[in-house]
């Protein structure tokens, strides 16, 4: 996914100012495609220059007034083209997994505590997703747009559930490891 396409999606859902858009990113799209406020504002300028979006006319021009943007037909066509194109999955990169691999050769100091911290973070994120699901997708709300949005949320719920289960397995493994200190290799006898 690319930031321009995330912005086009958000603006098609609801024309917004840059500030409103960044807030909406923080509450929705940002859960699975993050961007800084500066990146969003920079991309809005590029999309406008390319003729994919336009600033809505202000009722009363005023200095410093927020510009609201809407998607133009060319922007909708670009989003439709991109949505229909085939993309290969991206390789998964996760520093925690790399750190575990490194711990196999340099020792496990600090890793178990960080696994517990990650578990807590994933449990909180799962609770937040479940609250969004309860609030935004009550029984009977099953129009095509709602079903697709719910499907995206379900991906987040399922990923958090996976990480919680995996971290539980990882912590169970740590319970069976010898107490490896700084610089020691797991399974290596202490001097």
Q: Is residue 118 predicted with pLDDT exceeding 60?
A: yes
Domain boundary among 84, 103, 124: 84
Element (H, E) at 68: strand 68-71
Instruction: Identify the residue with better confidence: 27 or 133.
Output: 133
**Can you state the percent helix, strand and coil of the chain, rounding each to 5?**
65, 5, 30
Choose among 148, 125, 126: nearest CA to 137.
148
Q: Which residues constitute the domain of residue 140?
A: 95-176
Using left for φ > 0, alpha for ψ between -120 and 50, and beta otherwise, residue 64 falls in left
Per-residue pLDDT at 57: 84
The DSSP output letter for 103 is H
Inside any domain, residue 40: yes
Inside any domain, residue 142: yes
Q: What percent of the chain has pLDDT over 90?
A: 62
Instruction: Identify the residue with better confidence: 28 or 101.
Output: 101
The DSSP output letter for 95 is H
Instruction: Identify the residue with better confidence: 33 or 171.
Output: 171
Looking at the fold, whether 140 and 169 belong to one and the same domain comes out as yes
Looking at the fold, whether 102 and 36 belong to one and the same domain comes out as no
Looking at the fold, whether 128 and 170 belong to one and the same domain comes out as yes
Inside any domain, residue 141: yes
Per-residue pLDDT at 60: 61
Number of domains in the chain: 2
Inside any domain, residue 171: yes
Looking at the fold, whether 7 and 68 belong to one and the same domain comes out as yes
Residue 33 CA to residue 181 CA, distance in Å, equals: 38
Choose among 68, 28, 26, 74: nearest CA to 50.
74
Q: How far is C-alpha 56 from the chain's CA centre?
A: 29
Contacts of 46 (CB under 8 A, 6+ apart): 4
In this prediction, residues 151-169 reach a mean pLDDT of 96
Inside any domain, residue 46: yes
Domain boundary among 22, 52, 84: 84
Residue 50 CA to residue 75 CA, distance in Å, equals: 9
Judged by DSSP in three states, 179 sits in: coil
Per-residue pLDDT at 191: 44
Dihedral (CA of 64, 70, 71, 72) sign: negative
pLDDT tens per residue across span 19-76: 899 888 888 887 888 888 899 999 999 999 999 999 998 766 556 667 899 999 999 9
Residue 117 CA to residue 44 CA, distance in Å, equals: 36
Residue 160 CA to residue 166 CA, distance in Å, equals: 10
């Amino acid at each position: 996914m690319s930031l321009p396409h995330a912005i086009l999606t958000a603006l098609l859902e609801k024309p917004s100012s840059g500030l409103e858009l960044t807030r909406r990113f923080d509450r929705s799209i940002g859960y699975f495609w993050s961007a800084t406020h500066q990146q969003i504002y920079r991309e809005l300028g590029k999309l406008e220059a390319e003729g994919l979006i336009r600033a809505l006319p202000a009722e009363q021009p005023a200095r410093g007034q927020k510009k609201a943007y809407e998607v133009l037909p060319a922007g909708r066509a670009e989003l439709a083209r991109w949505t229909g194109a085939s993309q290969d999955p991206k390789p998964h990169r996760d520093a925690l997994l790399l750190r575990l691999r490194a711990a196999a050769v340099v020792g496990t100091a600090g890793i178990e505590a960080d696994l517990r911290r990650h578990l807590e973070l994933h449990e909180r994120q799962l609770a937040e997703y479940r609250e969004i699901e309860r609030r935004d997708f009550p029984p009977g709300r099953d129009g095509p747009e709602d079903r697709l949005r719910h499907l995206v949320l379900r991906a987040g719920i399922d990923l958090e559930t996976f990480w919680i289960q995996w971290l539980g397995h990882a912590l169970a493994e740590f319970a069976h490891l010898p107490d490896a200190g700084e610089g020691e290799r797991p399974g290596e006898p202490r001097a």
